[in-house]
A and B are shown apart, each in its own frame.
Chain A
Amino acid sequence: GQNIDQPTEMTATEGAIVQINCTYQTSGFNGLFWYQQHAGEAPTFLSYNVLDGLEEKGRFSSFLSRSKGYSYLLLKELQMKDSASYLCAPLDSNYQLIWGAGTKLIIKP
């Protein structure tokens, strides 16, 4: 079957760094997306990885290891507005996004 595994909730301090891990099992693989979703709002696109390695985009970076079925999202210089859920979503062989429940990130002052 298809499966996403992310921590349910994480807490971090403003100004710090946090890494949100994601392991996945899918029928085929065509890349992996990370989305941010604030409470009561729709998800917004953060990053897309299809090749192994690290993609850096400002304060956010995303890493992928296809052989391990593993990705992480790294958030630096955390701000209060980063409090949100972060969704790891791989694309399967049919280009269907597989959604997990996401990781709720709580930022404390």
Chain B
Amino acid sequence: SAVISQKPSRDICQRGTSLTIQCQVDSQVTMMFWYRQQPGQSLTLIATANQGSEATYESGFVIDKFPISRPNLTFSTLTVSNMSPEDSSIYLCSVDGGSGNQPQHFGDGTRLSIL
């Protein structure tokens, strides 16, 4: 299964600033996904990132707030822009398992706290 490295593992940021989270995979994957997990909550999909195309955002998430890059088949970034305390969450990236019916593999997540 794919090995996923996510950076940073945690950060504490000031209100109004932006932070970019990186997700690196050790093999080429078609789809990468970005999730938000608010404290004590389940995972909510932010967007799906395919290489060479614009990310597809879920309802309630917009590109201006969560711009995503997918420059190649092994890397993606998620930026959390103009942060407020409500953005304090764990952000996780995952990759598709390959043939569509394979389970997603997840990174270790980034714990983000906004002061």
A binds B: no
Residues of A within 8 A of B (CB): none
